[in-house]
């Protein structure tokens, strides 16, 4: 599919911002939505709406089928072998908290170590810290170098020197754009008897994922960074792990039978989906996955890679611009600083030219601390970004420099 | 003219580049660090209060242009004024930033500070402009530190 055809499927790209066309560079936070997803939500809420798993009437049967079919679509997208290994959550954060509160609470013991990388989002740090407080385990950090590349020797040493129960790291860093080497890191963890959770929030929309081939134990991502609706996400877990895990949230739909004396729990995935789930959002996620796969992840990688390469070259033309994160393998986010302007001033000023970027610590304060900076400006790519967007970003950055007398 | 070009006027840019009273006070009667986790801005306000009057005020730290210029212009606005009057100015400044007071209607003591009115269009930047003021009030109230917010910066 051509990029212009893809762009034409995003109605929001036609709107104007401060009387300029929109160049949207915040897909790392959340992507814009293709028309198919918007239409699908309208169709479901407007014409097909009913609850699920209460199938005494046609509409509920249909809704249940539509909802359950999305498990298969997700399994196909990330290379899981069974749709029962796909749990719907409210997002990546919820998925990680689920693992920490089920697998973590039941299997991780006092004195054992949980490893996270130095470039994690707060959502892949805080749930583990909370777990450590509950069970007495210890959080340790896989260090990274100044370019934003994880130190694999240090990682190996951490695995040798400690009784590591679990390693949690992101596939792609939201703050630096680094693609981490999942396959060797998973293999190494398993050699030392540790389980692995991969945070795929920043990767599933940008490159191919193969949870079975990579042998990851848990994989988490959000719908809304994958062109789907907000409020829903996915936890993949290996079947045997999910089966051994206790439930976290109790309620309807997650039980086998309930009496006041004793309740027995349903098998996964239902065990982990208490209450009425975000039905429409899950169905919308399914539409987003179909849409993304109609382009193909290889094609997405090629389209984004081309714009990323162009952006990395063109940004160097901006006076006083310093890239933050220079990993050789990267996707999504491009973080930078300007000598003369603070990231927040940059973001406000480029917005006045219709260019939407992000400024701040990107929920990765330890990354900022490690690099000795308070914040970065971040332009993150989606499949709709083209070279004109990059030109408009660069032009807007020249304008920032002009305002600040650089 | 867009709000941001109104916001980044020469006066603000000048105060950002050459902040006034940008120094540490060796023996302050009041001191309070302020932190804006959203921007990563840190600044510390130093006061020397004699009786009821702010004899000297200065600040140091790092931050975006809006927070730095606001701190710089604040020091000029409050120096030599009685504490109660300064609290009143803070209240007016705050109301202007939240859109509860229109500075063009008069009846206030904001003077040059009215230049920050454009900030109200950017809720995420209101805290940049008010950080130094919160730290100032924190210093007056003998607080250990002030923080403009909890974390509000997902992903």
Per-residue pLDDT tens digits of chain A, which is 406 residues long:
799 999 999 999 999 999 999 999 999 999 999 999 999 999 999 999 999 997 789 999 999 999 999 999 999 999 999 999 999 999 999 999 999 999 999 999 999 999 999 999 999 999 999 999 999 999 999 999 999 999 999 999 999 999 999 999 999 999 999 999 999 999 999 999 999 999 999 999 999 999 999 999 999 999 999 999 999 999 999 999 999 999 999 998 888 889 888 889 999 999 999 999 999 999 999 999 999 999 999 999 999 999 999 999 999 999 999 999 999 999 999 999 999 999 999 999 999 999 999 999 999 999 999 999 989 999 999 999 999 999 999 999 999 999 998 8
Q: What is the rounded (10 degree) CA torsion for B136, B138, B140, B142?
A: -140
CATH architecture under which domain A39-294 falls: 3-Layer(aba) Sandwich (3.40)
Best of A122, A124, A342 to disrupt the B interface (most B CBs within 10 Å) is: A342
B3 touches chain A (CB under 8 A): yes
Verify whether the Cβ–Cβ distance A351 to B13 is below 8 Å: no
Q: What is the pTM of this model?
A: 0.94
B69 touches chain A (CB under 8 A): no
Each residue of A91-103: pLDDT tens digit? 999 999 999 999 9
DSSP character at residue A353 = T
Which positions 21-40 of B are in contact with A (Cβ < 8 Å)?
Answer: 37-40
Dihedrals phi, psi of A132, to nearest 5 degrees = -55, -40
B64 vs A contacts (CB less than 8 Å):
342-345
CA separation for the pair B70, B40 (Å, rounded): 16
Q: Are A337 and A368 in contact (CB under 8 A)?
A: no
Question: Does residue A38 carry a catalytic annotation?
Answer: no
Domain at B3-145, CATH class: alpha beta
At A269, is the secondary structure helix, strand, or coil? coil
A348 vs B contacts (CB less than 8 Å):
4, 7, 122, 125
Verify whether the Cβ–Cβ distance A29 to B155 is below 8 Å: yes
Each residue of B24-63: pLDDT tens digit? 999 999 999 999 877 778 999 999 999 899 999 999 999 9
DSSP character at residue A157 = H
Contacts of A42 (CB under 8 A, 6+ apart): none
Verify whether the Cβ–Cβ distance A362 to B128 is below 8 Å: no
Each residue of A169-211: pLDDT tens digit? 999 999 999 999 999 999 999 999 999 999 999 999 999 999 9
CB count in 10 Å sphere of residue B49: 18
Q: Where are the domains of chain A?
A: 3-29+296-403, 39-294
At A6, is the secondary structure helix, strand, or coil? helix
Which of B38, B153, B155 minimises the CB distance to A28?
A: B155
Quote the ipTM score: 0.88
Q: Where are the domains of chain B?
A: 3-145
CATH architecture under which domain A3-29+296-403 falls: Alpha-Beta Complex (3.90)
Contacts of A336 (CB under 8 A, 6+ apart): A315, A321, A322, A323, A324, A376, A377, A378, A379
A375 vs B contacts (CB less than 8 Å):
39-40
Which positions 169-198 of A are in contact with B (Cβ < 8 Å)?
Answer: 174
């Amino acid at each position: 599919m051509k990029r212009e055809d893809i762009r034409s499927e995003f109605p929001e790209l036609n709107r104007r911002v401060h009387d300029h066309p929109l160049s949207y560079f915040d897909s790392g936070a959340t992507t814009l939505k293709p028309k198919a997803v918007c239409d699908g939500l309208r169709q479901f809420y407007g014409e097909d709406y009913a609850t699920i798993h209460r199938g005494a009437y046609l509409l509920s049967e249909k809704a249940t089928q539509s909802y359950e079919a999305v498990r298969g679509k997700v399994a196909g997208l990330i290379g899981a072998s069974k749709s029962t290994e796909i749990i719907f959550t409210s997002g990546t954060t919820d998925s990680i908290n689920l693992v920490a509160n089920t697998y973590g609470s039941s299997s991780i013991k006092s004195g054992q170590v949980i490893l996270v990388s130095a470039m994690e989002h707060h959502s892949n740090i805080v749930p583990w810290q909370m777990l450590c407080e509950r069970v007495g385990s210890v959080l340790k950090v896989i260090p990274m170098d100044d370019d934003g590349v994880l130190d694999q020797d240090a990682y190996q040493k951490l695995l040798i020197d400690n009784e590591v129960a679990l390693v949690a790291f992101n596939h792609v860093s939201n703050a630096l754009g680094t693609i981490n080497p999942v396959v060797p890191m998973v293999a190494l963890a398993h050699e030392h008897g540790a389980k692995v959770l991969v945070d795929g929030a920043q990767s599933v929309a940008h490159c191919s994922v193969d949870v079975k081939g990579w042998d990851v134990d848990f994989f988490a991502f959000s719908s809304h960074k994958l062109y789907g609706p907000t409020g829903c996400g996915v936890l993949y877990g290996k079947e045997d792990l999910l089966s051994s895990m206790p439930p976290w949230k109790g309620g309807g739909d997650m039980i086998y039978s309930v009496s006041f004396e004793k309740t027995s729990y349903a098998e996964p995935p239902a065990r982990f989906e208490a209450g009425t789930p975000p039905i429409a959002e899950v169905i919308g996620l399914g539409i987003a996955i179909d849409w993304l796969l109609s382009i193909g992840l290889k094609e997405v990688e090629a389209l984004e890679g081309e714009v990323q390469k162009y952006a990395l070259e063109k940004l160097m033309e901006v006076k006083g611009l310093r890239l933050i994160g220079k990993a050789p393998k990267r996707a999504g986010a491009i973080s930078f600083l300007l000598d003369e302007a603070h990231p927040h001033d940059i973001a406000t000023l480029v917005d006045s030219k219709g260019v939407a970027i992000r400024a701040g610590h990107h929920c990765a304060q330890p990354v900022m601390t490690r690099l000795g900076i308070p914040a970065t400006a971040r332009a993150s790519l989606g499949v709709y970004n083209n070279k004109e967007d990059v030109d408009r970003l660069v032009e807007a950055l020249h304008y920032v420099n002009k305002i600040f007398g650089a | 003219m867009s709000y941001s070009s109104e916001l980044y006027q020469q006066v603000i840019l000048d105060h950002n580049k050459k902040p006034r009273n940008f120094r540490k006070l060796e023996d302050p009667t009041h001191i309070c660090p302020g932190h804006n986790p959203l921007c990563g801005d840190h600044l510390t306000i130093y006061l020397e209060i004699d009786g009821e009057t702010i004899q000297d005020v200065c600040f140091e730290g790092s931050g975006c242009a809006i927070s730095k210029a606001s701190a710089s212009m604040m020091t000029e606005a409050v120096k030599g004024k009685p504490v109660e009057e300064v609290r009143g100015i803070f209240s007016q400044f705050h109301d202007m930033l939240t859109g509860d007071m229109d500075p063009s209607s008069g009846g206030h003591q904001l003077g040059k500070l009215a230049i920050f009115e454009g900030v109200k269009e950017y809720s995420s930047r209101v805290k940049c402009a008010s950080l130094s003021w919160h730290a100032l009030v924190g210093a007056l109230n003998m607080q250990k530190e002030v923080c403009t917010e909890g974390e509000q910066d997902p992903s």
